Amino acid sequence: MSPTASSSSDVRPGLNKQTRRGSTLLLALTAVATLLTGCSTAAAGDTTSPGKPLQLRLVISSIDGPCTAPALTSDGAASACDRAETTTYELAHVLGVITPDSVTLSDNQGSTNSVALDLNDTDTDTLSEVSREALNKNLAIVLDGRVLSAPLVKDALTSSPLALMFETASEAKQVAADLTAATTP
């Protein structure tokens, strides 16, 4: 489950190969997010639903191998697993939280390998501020206490929708479902 990366030339010491490739998905930069504006459509049977909150944290380090860290439950620095429990991340404290107004599978020029997250103005500002702080660093996107992605931020992300890119349509569909699933008490 690795992303389709446009460039893998940036190698950051202390981060594993999976993280350097952008972890399990890749945050599309402002140009892609802008390209998707107005181009998001729900896949057959999908609806545009509000999403779950996503924590934004800097990655301090990561290690490949089985992960047994519990799901994150605090805003402080901590260890966390990726969704597949194959990478352990050391994460900094929460820099911000965004909650998508809607989550849709995208039809970006015929590709259904992405999920579009529509953000309100406040969350767009939060993402912009956090991504500026994370320039040239890996930024973990945490869903339900697990690392959803840890891409290298190359430009500030300043517009909505935000596109999450995947290698396969099934990965995109699973993440969209997880993002819109009801939280159990």
Q: What is the pLDDT of residues 108-149, one digit of tens each?
A: 556 678 888 999 999 999 999 999 999 999 999 999 999 988
pLDDT greater at residue 142 or residue 17 = 142
User: Residue 57 sits in a domain of what CATH number?
Assistant: 3.30.1360
* Domain-located, residue 127: yes
103 burial type by CB count under 10 A (0-12 exposed, 13-18 middle, 19+ buried): buried
Looking at the structure of the chain, the number of domains it has is 1
| Distance between first and last Cα of the chain | 29
* Domain-located, residue 105: yes
* Domain-located, residue 122: yes
pLDDT greater at residue 131 or residue 12 = 131
Per-residue pLDDT at 27 exceeds 50: no
Q: Using CA atoms, how far apart are residues 164 and 146, in angstroms rounded to an integer?
A: 16
Per-residue pLDDT at 40 exceeds 60: no
| pLDDT at 149 (0 to 100) | 86
Band of the pLDDT at 180, cuts 50, 70, 90? confident
Per-residue pLDDT at 10 exceeds 90: no
* Domain-located, residue 71: yes
* Domain-located, residue 56: yes
Could you write out the three-class secondary structure of 80-149? EEECCCCEEEEEEEEEEEECCCEEEEECECCECCEEEEECCHHHHHHHHHHHHHCCCCEEEEEECCEEEE
Range of the domain at 119: 20-180
| pLDDT at 183 (0 to 100) | 56
Per-residue pLDDT at 70 exceeds 80: yes
DSSP annotation of 22: T
